[in-house]
Amino acid sequence: MSQDQNDALPLVVGLTAVLVLFSLYAVFIFAPTERVMGHVQRIFYYHVASAWVGFLAFLVACASGLLYLAKRSPRWDRVTAASVEIGLLFSTIALVEGSLWARPVWNTWWTWDPRLTTTLVMCLYYATTLMLRRLGGSEERNARVGAVLSIVGFVNVPIVFLAIRMWRTIHPAVLTTSGFAVAPRMLVALLASLLAFTALYVCLMWTRIRVARLEHDVSALRHRITATRP
């Protein structure tokens, strides 16, 4: 990572902080209180945004996995690994937020609804992907396994997204054929949350790739020192 990119990171962090603060204002002050569910409905904005970041992260992991297999560059492997980690984190957060929302609305923490079930399967798959990357072997082997699993696993993402259209479900649909199924001020809060969480994803990706690069450099330096010892 170049020095110019490192210098730009604080600007990205600052912009992300501003967007997150704006989303907090939009969600808790600007958006009206939902008439039926009340204040608990405000979880919706961050629930959708968390799920969106999970989808985006797995898409990036799939694309970078393809680029790694084509070019065999460690840079793309670092992007794949970082994006899977972040995608798994936000998908898990979306599941937790959904449970917190479901308890007062559906009177249960969990139900085997198609959207929830497919999301859980997706999370378990990517958690397994991360574990398989750490089973040992050469860096090239781990990178190749991670790339292939990230590409294959992306099949889960459209299944999760289309689950409420493919099967009967009680999960509400946010995006319909006519647009977003929310009131105008709620839409502003939703879009603010989506933008803030997208910026947060970029910020976390930037930082995680930088850390992975430093870890690689330290590992290479340790190997050289060990090799030169008598």
pLDDT in tens, 105-142: 888 888 888 888 999 999 999 999 999 888 777 888 88
pLDDT in tens, 36-54: 888 888 999 999 999 999 9
Q: How many domains does the chain have?
A: 1
Please tell me the distance from the alpha carbon of residue 57 to that of residue 65, in angstroms, as a whole number: 12
Length, in residues, of the chain? 230
Question: Mean pLDDT, to the nearest integer, of 170-198?
Answer: 81
Q: Which positions ≥6 away from 64 have C-beta within 8 Å?
A: 76, 77, 79, 80, 83, 147, 150
| pTM for this model (two decimals) | 0.88
CB of 56 closer than 8 Å to CB of 201: yes
The boundaries of the domain holding residue 194 are 3-228
